[in-house]
Amino acid sequence: MNWSETLVIGVASSALFDLTESHAVFEEYGEDEYRSFQETKYEEQLAPGIAFPFIRRLLGLNDLAPGPSPVVEVIVLSRNDPETGARVMRSIETHDLPMTRAVFTQGRSPYKYMPAFGMKLFLSANPKDVAEATELGFPAGQVVGSVADLEADDPYDRDLRIAFDFDAVLADDSAERVYVAEGIKGYHEHETTMAEVPLPPGPMKDLLAAINRIQDLEDARTKDDDTYSRRLFVSIVTARNAPAYARAIKSLKSWGLRVNDGFFLGGWEKSAVLEILKPHIFFDDQMSHLEGTQSLVPSVHVPFGVKNS
């Protein structure tokens, strides 16, 4: 099989499932009791975690695969050992998630194995693991907030909506550094001058590229089947507005990438837009922005750039 075009994502059990009860047992009673607890609860299905809606719908896109290789592969990256991680794998099975691969590294962060699988993203609830992975140049994000019930409005909806902030997420943080150093006036002057100069890519640029390749498959499907409805939609939700929005558009075009929707908010509260957009996952580099979004939509903190120094 040719895996070069497969979007591979690593997800910690803490992002995929709600491990609040399990973690409390570990913290209060230690590893031995935790091990016994997981063994006793083996057949008790773990509840969905923050990343669950995103992962489930992403895996659902594998029906677009034109050949034997899957469109998407999601691999568990866990601090559990294989024995205590067995309940996680059992819950994956009972939730009917088509995930078969796992990396268990007892008590140690597994992010260093990302290159072995060509992963474009690592999601975890552990801020230390995510920060260390980001520092090493790996695309990683910390899930924050609570599980949003995105199935309530329409349980038959199969769409997958993904939203990104732009600076320090899709692009690097060079423009944000200008903002920090020179303020809003200097920032706008700089971005107007540099409007035709693409920004360097940021940590999630390759993830968007892989998502666009899946959208290409949907383009092909619509040509062959006029009854097919597109399911994958990508948005940018950014504090950029005119004139700074022009450089974001130029950068995407220069990278050969695209999005379906753009929200250039100029400091308007992002949560007001996201509450209507209802993405299944939203990536932002600033935790202060996510304070208003995490109770509404599954949110991911990308600890990259000057705002996280």
Active site residues: 165
Decide if 261 contacts 213 (C-beta within 8 A).
Answer: no
User: Please, is 156 exposed, middle or buried when counting C-beta atoms within 10 Å of its C-beta (0-12, 13-18, 19+)?
Assistant: exposed
**Nearest Cα to Cα of residue 125 among 299, 292, 289:** 299
* Sole residue written with tokens 């907030």: 145
145 conformational bin, left if phi > 0, alpha if psi -120 to 50, beta if neither: left
